[in-house]
Structure formats: structure tokens, C-alpha cells
Amino acid sequence: MTEFKHITVLLDEAIENLAVQPTGTYVDATLGGGGHSKLLASELTTGKLWSFDQDQTAIDYNQEHLKNEIETNKVSLIQNNFRNLTTALNEVGVQSIDGIVYDLGVSSPQFDDGQRGFSYNYDAPLDMRMNQKQTLNARTVVNEWSFNDLMRILSRYGEEKFAKRIARAIERARMEQPIETTFELVDIIKSAIPMGARRTGGHPAKKSFQAIRIAVNDELGAVEESLQQALDMLNVNGRIAVITFHSLEDRLVKTMFKEKTQLPDLPSGLPVIPDEMQPDFKLVNRKPIYANEHELEENRRAHSAKLRIIERIR
Ligand SMILES: C[S@@+](CC[C@H](N)C(=O)[O-])C[C@H]1O[C@@H](n2cnc3c(N)ncnc32)[C@H](O)[C@@H]1O
């Protein structure tokens, strides 16, 4: 089995909060190294788990890692984008689910494989695709997207203060010759950030790389579409657990969950709220769940992780 070193974040907390019914139908939307899938499957008797990943490497690894669970038909792997949740599940005869877990973002192997172009620490062709068959990659975004689109993604998805300067520097550099590698891009980004600011707030390319990665994989669009489908497919008492790693993802999940669990605007002075106006969902925890101290010591990625859970109540 090829090595796939990913330490699962909020493993027990996410699965515990799904309140798994041993005979239920579950989905792991983000299989990765299979940590959540393995634990969830161990709680099933006659239940079934469908595990999604769009990355071939994750699917290949788990054919071995989850071999027993696959052979006993407790788990099946689906190589697909989780934005196609409903269609992919309908194709295998599943119309409704009792729970789903999302552990968003990239896995450590994706980040640490120098050749995939996710990291500013390794020199590699500009790529950043989670799905190796997708056509849009970071090279296209950096070399072909307009100045305005670059500025928009850097500012919106990277929350980069120097978005305009960086977009301008990219535009200037690519007029000379195409930008091909991560290190070329890092140098361009560095050159656009004022000297004083380069020394604060982590690696100067961190925010821009996050922004380009989110754009290449349309990460926020996929989460929004998928969550809506998951909410629609959820059985009563079923739960959705989502682990996010940055404020944009978390805000999206928080807002969607809030909309689903709130009462609609009602005329003031209604003595009783009519039953059909009650929300169909409730928040399992008002505040997000964070990693405990022990996990924070063991795993750097856990520091930015937040877990939110919603339950269908009717
Ligand atoms: C943080 S890792 C998940 C780790 C996993 N929970 C574990 O225990 O090892 C995220 C995984 O989700 C996958 N992924 C991210 N966005 C996806 C999407 N839109 N559709 C399908 N898979 C996606 C990535 O390819 C990656 O393997």
C-alpha cells in the first residue's frame, strides 16, 4: 500500500456527533486518508457507508486501507465531486441518508506531494487540481484570467490585503513570458508585497495560494451546492457534520445552517407559531466544536478546524 500520511482532524468528535444508527445509510463526502470512514464504518452493523473523493490517489489508497469494509460491502468508494451528491447516490439506488460528514480542504498528501503544485514550499508546475482529470488548473488561472478576476479571487478567497498589487505584478510578469512554476509565482507575489509587510503574518504567498486553490477547485461553490443536496436528502434524526479550515468556508456553513434552523419572518403578535412554519432543522451545538488540547499539540492542521452539526427534526 502506498503511504498516505494524513492525520484525521476531529475524528471522534465528528463521528460521535453524527449519532450513528448502526443500520443507517451514511456518506463520507471527503474520504482522503479514510480516518472518518474507518471509524464510522466500525459503528455500522447492517448499515452502509458511501465514501466520496474526487482524487484518484485517495481512492487508490483506500481500496487497500478499507479493504475489509469494502469486501463485506459495508463501504463503497465513489470517485466523484461531492457537488454531484444526489445524482451519484441516486445512481447506486440511494434516495435518502441518515448522516454525512465533510472534512473540507486538501489532505496532507495532496499538499506534501511536491508535484501537485499546492504548496509554496516545493517547486512544481502550477497545478492545484484535486481531481487530476479536471481541465482548469492553476497555470490557466494565473496566465489567462483577467486582472479583475485575479484581483477578485485574491481579495475574496485569500482575503489578501495586497490583492491589487499582486494581480498587477502577475499581469506584468506574464507579458514577458508565461508563469510556469510555483516558485516563479512565489517570487512575483513577494515582489508585489511591501518589504515591511513581508515579515508579518506567515509566508507571503500563503493567502494567494489559498485563493488560487479555491478558484481552481471551485471549493466554495461545491460546498454550497453539496450541502443543499445533503439537507434535502437527510432523513428525520439524520445529521450533517462539517469540519472547516478557514473563515470563508466556516461563514458559508454557519450561514446556511442558520437559515435552515431559524423561524421565518413572522407578523408580530402571533400568539402561536403555526406548525408548518417551524424550521425542519436544529443546530446540535450553538457554538462550533474545536480540537482539544491534546489534538492541538499533535496536529498543526487542527488549530484552524471548526466542527458544526445540524439535525433534521421533521
Ligand atoms: C481533509 S481531506 C479528508 C481527510 C479524511 N477525513 C481523513 O480522515 O483522512 C479532504 C479530502 O476531500 C477531498 N475533496 C475536497 N473537495 C472535494 C469535492 N468537492 N469533492 C470530492 N472530494 C473532495 C480531497 O480530495 C481530500 O482528499
Alpha carbon 18 to its chain centroid, in Å, reads 18
DSSP string, 117-158: S--TTS--BS---SSTT-S--HHHHHHHS-HHHHHHHHHHHH
pLDDT at 2: 55
58 Cβ inside 6 Å of ligand 1: yes
Cβ of residue 222 lying under 6 Å from some atom of ligand 1: yes
The reported pLDDT for the residue numbered 9 is 96
Tell me if 84 CB under 6 Å of ligand 1: no
Are 62 and 132 in contact by the 8 Å Cβ rule? The answer is: no
Q: Mean pLDDT, to the nearest integer, of 244-255? A: 96
> Quick one: fold of 135-216?
DNA polymerase; domain 1 (1.10.150)
**Cell numbers describing residue 238:** 439524520
Reference 213, options 111, 72, 285, 101; nearest CA is 111
pLDDT recorded at residue 189:
98
Kindly state if the Cβ of 141 falls inside 6 Å of ligand 1.
Answer: no
Q: Is the beta carbon of 109 within 6 A of some atom in ligand 1?
A: no
100 and 240 Cβ atoms separated by less than 8 Å:
yes
Residue 202 has pLDDT above 90, yes or no: no
- Mean of all residue pLDDT scores within the chain: 95
Tell whether 36 is in a known binding site.
Answer: yes
110 among the known binding-site residues?
A: yes
- What are the pLDDT digits (tens) for 52-108? 999 999 999 999 999 999 999 999 999 999 999 999 999 999 999 999 999 999 999
- Locate CATH 1.10.150.170 in the chain: 135-216
Amino acid in position 181: T
pLDDT in tens, 100-154: 999 999 999 898 888 999 999 999 999 999 999 999 999 999 999 999 999 999 9
Q: What is the ipTM of this complex?
A: 0.99
What pLDDT, in 10s, does the model give residues 256-286?
999 999 988 777 777 788 888 899 999 999 9
Hey, whose CA ends up nearest to atom 3 of ligand 1? 32
Superfamily of domain 11-109+219-312: Vaccinia Virus protein VP39 (3.40.50.150)
Q: Per the annotation, does 6 bind a ligand?
A: no
Residues of the chain with CATH 3.40.50.150: 11-109+219-312
Whole-number pLDDT of residue 271: 75
Q: Which of 26, 52, 53 to mutate to test the pocket of ligand 1 (most atoms within 8 A of CB)?
A: 53
Specify the pLDDT at position 272: 81
Atom of ligand 1 nearest to the CA of 36: 8
Instruction: Give the closest residue to 138 by CA, choosing from 110, 164, 118.
Output: 118
Q: CB within 8 A of 286, min separation 6: which ones?
A: none
pLDDT for 227 beyond 60: yes
